[in-house]
């Protein structure tokens, strides 16, 4: 294990510990009733479930118990996020009430009642978010692109980002995804990064390659790496996807039936994990025909002006999950120029997907999983349009 990875794991562990200690200090007011004590014990067990599950996976052969523990802990992440926000709100309120006499004080009894109600409400939200995380919608994008020499009149492409095959994206859900894609009758299938979640071995356990072989796409199946592919090991991922007939594009392009240039970018994560850095888009496009429209797949929606400056017709990105759980979508909106949806920059249409799977808790609130259906039509005029 490298020093950088050890520092990262140590930092995350400390943050997790202190965040949960902060929550525990607040929620311990429940100890004043027998039922509250039971709730508190259950929550403490949930707090330690995820790290215990990971330790069991690493050092024992108790795979079943380890998986259940990690799954419980993953759901707890959602609870932890909202419990932390509530704790912070209570502290801010208590500070304000100490400064302004017109604000009523929150005594121990009142705080205990607040937590009793809040625990129930948060659990309800988690249930709703778990259901919502499986309610996939299809987003249709229609784009006309000038191409006087196109072999094809149109291409029907289906794109998916952030599948995150792992603890919750198991074999049955992969089968369901493949079925949904095939039902859309695509000519071309595109995966916009983060296909795997943690490791290739987990993807192998869930028979990802075998399921992806069932995709019906006459023009091929292409993918780009997301940050999780680099965490899992980009070379292993590339070899494994090749078994499924999926071509991983790494700062390279493929020409689709002399009608479309498909460019796959290395994720920005490569700049800090891999020895080789991202190649600028203009260098990738130096050898391509200027007569063909260009589609770019770039997992993380950064440096969006780069695609626009090169006259790219369309760029697809993902990564953000649209925050996955409200109010974190407000944070992704601050971080990224576009955290979800359509952005038009000059002649370039950019679409940032909310993704298909989930990371961490299998919960979505204020965000839905989606599959993108691209109807690309090639026209002989110099003007293109989109909707």
Tell whether 97 and 233 lie within a shared domain: no
Tell me, yes or no, whether 227 lies in a domain: yes
Tell whether 64 and 150 lie within a shared domain: no
Q: What is the pLDDT, as a whole number, of residue 384?
A: 42
pLDDT tops 50 at residue 383: no
Tell whether 193 and 180 lie within a shared domain: yes
pLDDT band at 138 (very low <50, low <70, confident <90, very high): very high
Tell me, yes or no, whether 384 lies in a domain: no
Tell me, yes or no, whether 386 lies in a domain: no
Tell whether 208 and 126 lie within a shared domain: no
Q: What is the pTM of this model?
A: 0.91
- Average pLDDT of every residue of the chain: 92
pLDDT per residue over 35-56, tens digit each? 888 888 898 899 999 999 988 9
Distance between CA atoms of residues 70 and 42, nearest Å? 15
Tell me, yes or no, whether 271 lies in a domain: yes
Tell whether 65 and 82 lie within a shared domain: yes
Tell me, yes or no, whether 385 lies in a domain: no
- Secondary structure element (H or E) that encloses residue 372, with its range: strand 370-379
Residues with Cβ within 8 Å of 338's Cβ and at least 6 positions away in sequence, in order, are: 301, 304, 350, 352
Tell whether 70 and 164 lie within a shared domain: no
Q: Say if CB 192 and CB 295 are below 8 A apart.
A: no
Domain that holds residue 338: 137-379
Tell me, yes or no, whether 90 lies in a domain: yes
Out of 79, 99, 132, pick the residue that ends a domain: 132
pLDDT band at 353 (very low <50, low <70, confident <90, very high): very high
CATH number of the CATH domain containing 331: 3.60.21.10
Tell whether 27 and 61 lie within a shared domain: yes
Number of folded domains that form the chain = 2
Out of 101, 132, 163, pick the residue that ends a domain: 132
Tell whether 141 and 218 lie within a shared domain: yes
Best mean pLDDT range from 37-46, 95-104, 268-277, 349-358: 349-358
Tell whether 110 and 153 lie within a shared domain: no
Alpha helix stretches (DSSP H) within the chain: 3-27, 34-59, 63-99, 108-132, 171-183, 200-205, 208-212, 227-232, 234-243, 270-273, 281-284, 304-309, 328-335
Tell whether 144 and 286 lie within a shared domain: yes
Q: Say if CB 360 and CB 115 are below 8 A apart.
A: no
Q: What is the pLDDT, as a whole number, of residue 8?
A: 67
Tell whether 187 and 326 lie within a shared domain: yes
Going from the C-alpha of 59 to that of each of 14, 55, 225, the distances in angstroms are 21, 6, 30
pLDDT per residue over 268-301, tens digit each? 998 888 777 899 999 999 988 888 999 999 999 9
Out of 132, 165, 195, pick the residue that ends a domain: 132
Judge if the upstream peptide bond of residue 327 is cis by omega within 30 degrees of 0.
yes
Tell me, yes or no, whether 169 lies in a domain: yes
Tell whether 176 and 109 lie within a shared domain: no
């Amino acid at each position: 294990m490298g020093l950088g990875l050890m520092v990262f794991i140590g930092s995350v562990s400390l943050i997790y510990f202190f965040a949960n200690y902060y929550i525990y200090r607040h929620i311990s007011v429940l100890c004043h009733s027998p039922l509250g004590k039971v709730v508190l014990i259950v929550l403490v067990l949930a707090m330690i479930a995820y790290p215990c599950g990971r330790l069991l996976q690493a050092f024992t052969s108790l795979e079943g118990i380890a998986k259940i523990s990690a799954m419980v802990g993953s759901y707890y992440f959602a609870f932890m996020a909202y419990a932390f926000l509530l704790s912070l709100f209570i502290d801010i309120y208590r500070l304000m009430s100490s400064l302004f006499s017109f604000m009523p004080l929150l005594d121990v009894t009142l705080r205990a009642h607040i937590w009793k109600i809040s625990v129930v409400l948060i659990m309800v939200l988690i249930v709703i978010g778990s259901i919502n995380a499986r309610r996939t919608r299809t987003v249709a994008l229609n784009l006309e692109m000038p191409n006087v020499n196109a072999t094809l009149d149109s291409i029907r492409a289906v794109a998916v980002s952030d599948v995150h095959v792992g603890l919750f994206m198991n074999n049955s859900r992969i089968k369901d995804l493949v079925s949904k894609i095939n039902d859309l009758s695509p000519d071309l299938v595109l995966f916009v990064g983060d296909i795997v979640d943690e490791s290739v071995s987990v993807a192998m356990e869930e028979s990802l390659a075998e399921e992806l072989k069932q995709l019906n796409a006459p023009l091929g199946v292409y993918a780009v790496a997301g940050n999780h592919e680099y965490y899992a090991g980009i070379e292993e991922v590339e070899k494994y996807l090749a078994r499924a007939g999926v071509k991983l594009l790494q700062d390279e392009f493929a020409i689709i039936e002399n009608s479309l240039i498909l460019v796959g970018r290395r994720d920005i994560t490569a700049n800090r994990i891999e020895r080789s850095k991202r190649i600028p888009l203009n260098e990738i496009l130096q050898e391509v025909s200027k007569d063909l429209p260009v589609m770019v797949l770039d997992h993380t929606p950064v440096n969006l002006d780069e695609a626009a400056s090169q006259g790219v017709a369309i760029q697809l990105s993902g990564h953000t999950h649209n925050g996955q759980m409200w109010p974190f979508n407000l944070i992704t909106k601050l971080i990224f120029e576009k955290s979800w949806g359509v952005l038009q920059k000059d002649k370039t249409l950019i679409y940032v997907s909310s993704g298909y799977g989930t990371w961490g808790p299998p919960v979505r609130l204020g965000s839905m999983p989606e599959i993108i259906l691209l109807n690309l039509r090639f026209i002989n005029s110099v003007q293109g349009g989109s909707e």
